[in-house]
Amino acid sequence: MHIHILGICGTFMGGIAVLAKSAGHTVTGCDANVYPPMSTQLEAQGIRLIGGYDADQVGLAPDVFVIGNVVSRGNPLMEEILNQGLPYLSGPQWLAENVLRDRWVVAVAGTHGKTTTASMTAWCLEVGGLQPGFLIGGIPQNFGVSARLTDSPFFVVEADEYDTAFFDKRSKFVHYRPRTVVLNNLEFDHADIFPDLAAIETQFHHLVRTVPSHGLILANGREAALDRVLARGCWTPVERFAVPDGWDAHASAPEGTFEVRREGEPQGRVHWELLGAHNRHNALAAIGAARHAGVPVGVSLGALETFVSVRRRMEVRARVRGITVYDDFAHHPTAIRTTLEGLRARVGASRILAVLEPRSNTMRMGVMKDALAPSLESADAVYCYAGNVGWDVRGALQPMGTKAWVEDDLGALVARVARAAQPGDSIVVMSNGGFGGFHDQLIAALQDDERQAAHAAQT
């Protein structure tokens, strides 16, 4: 079968392309922005990419067009598909019908931590010998790819609540029909498609309605929103985590070791490099999900000790002059806060410089602006890029006083952070996009300062 994917360079749709190619299909695709790294990954798979959405792509005559949710009415190729009555479906529907059917699907949902928890779960299943397939919205460094198709009956999928396509406004995850579900947390997000938290809770309950009675739901016991979702009706056994009467983690100081308990009974310890209580909760969910799939708890504990975090989740990009530069995907205030609190527990009194691009649709709409300053309290200095924001970032960060700097020019932001950085500092660059190449520009500036200092010492 030949499938042509519209919006192929998105993480999810790119994963669909990899799975389809692995299944033996002919795959082509198009996108408005065809550029590395996704373009090079897809081309390495032998997938032809086309820049733009010209209507003449219908001449490729695929068996079906798979439509990403980046595509809307008015898109010239989509209009031609509709006018000619050509077959099309959404990415989640294609995944459900061609990959997930007849498999034991482990779905990881939640506002935060989906990518990391799905990656942990897949790694626990892998170490447990189950060789799972997976589709994850990032690149787990233990695997090196975001999607994999295997002969295993087990498949781990990052279950996103964002809408499916312009013609299907349900959340993606209602298509997946999982047997094991993680409900990691639930807050208001995606203000571009959801009017309020209650609307998102409704979508989460739609997911709950699809889980069989012989399945399992692992729910964060600290989340009132998830309690409300389950109170609407639940027909599946529920295990809670992050609470003493369920799966719980007891951390040791300093960061790096924690004990896992289930209903108060010790299960073993984990020694790892990840930071923060949020990652310990992610680990608890992964252990519980893997146990439901048949992986003994002790095996999962060992797997987590060899787990390498997902790219762009507190990924160390460089160490220059004793300064560590991290790349992190945090963009929601809760994720920003937990990321910085985790790092603070690791570095103690050493300085943390937080650099933020408010890029997500919700952040650019200004919905979370009142929560922004409190989320950054663990940082010693905050640098924010306001070049793509239509609301008053300076006003939002005013409560931070002289700790916060706002720049409208990316180059000026790079220069300011580079001047401020000192040996021993941790710089956390937070964005859910490319940030205009900020990371590389900052590292280059720090390296240039290092070279100049070395030259001055020699002369």
Domain boundaries, the chain: 2-92, 102-305, 315-458
- Which two three-digit tokens encode residue 71? 């595509």
State the amino acid at position 259 in one-letter form.
E
3-state DSSP call for residue 417? helix
User: Which CATH fold would you assign to the domain 2-92?
Assistant: Rossmann fold (3.40.50)
Q: How many CA atoms within 13 Å lie on the side-chain side of 332?
A: 15
Q: Which of 62, 158, 61, 58 is nearest to 112 (CA)?
A: 158
pTM, two decimals, is 0.80
What top-level class would CATH report for the domain 315-458? alpha beta
As a dihedral over the C-alpha atoms of residue 378, residue 383, residue 387, residue 391, rounded to 10 degrees, the angle is: 40
Residue 310 DSSP symbol: B
CATH number for the domain whose boundaries are 102-305 = 3.40.1190.10
Instruction: Examine domains 2-92 and 315-458 and report if their fold is the same.
Output: no
3-state DSSP call for residue 401? helix
* Beta strand segments in 274-396, E: 315-320, 323-328, 352-356, 381-385
**For residue 332, what pLDDT is reported?**
78
Answer whether 86's CB lies under 8 Å from 24's CB: no
Residues 6 or more apart in contact with residue 37 via CB below 8 angstroms:
none
3-state DSSP call for residue 164? strand
**For residue 458, what pLDDT is reported?**
60
Per-residue pLDDT tens, the chain, 459 aa: give them.
Answer: 999 999 999 889 999 999 999 999 999 999 997 766 677 778 888 899 999 999 999 999 999 999 999 999 999 999 999 999 999 999 999 999 999 999 999 999 998 889 999 999 999 999 999 999 999 988 888 898 889 999 999 999 999 998 999 999 999 999 999 999 999 989 877 777 788 899 999 999 999 999 999 999 999 999 999 999 999 999 999 999 999 999 999 887 666 889 999 999 999 999 988 878 888 999 999 999 999 999 999 999 999 999 987 767 778 888 898 999 988 877 778 888 888 888 887 888 899 999 988 876 666 666 677 788 888 988 999 998 887 777 778 888 888 888 888 888 888 898 999 999 999 999 989 887 778 788 888 989 898 866 666 655 666
Alpha-helical runs (H) found in 128-170? none
Kind plus residue range of the DSSP H or E element containing 119: helix 114-127
Question: What span, in angstroms and rounded, lies between the C-alpha atoms of 90 and 174?
Answer: 12
**For residue 144, what pLDDT is reported?**
84
Question: What span, in angstroms and rounded, lies between the C-alpha atoms of 131 and 49?
Answer: 30
Largest CA-CA distance found in the chain, in angstroms, rounded: 75
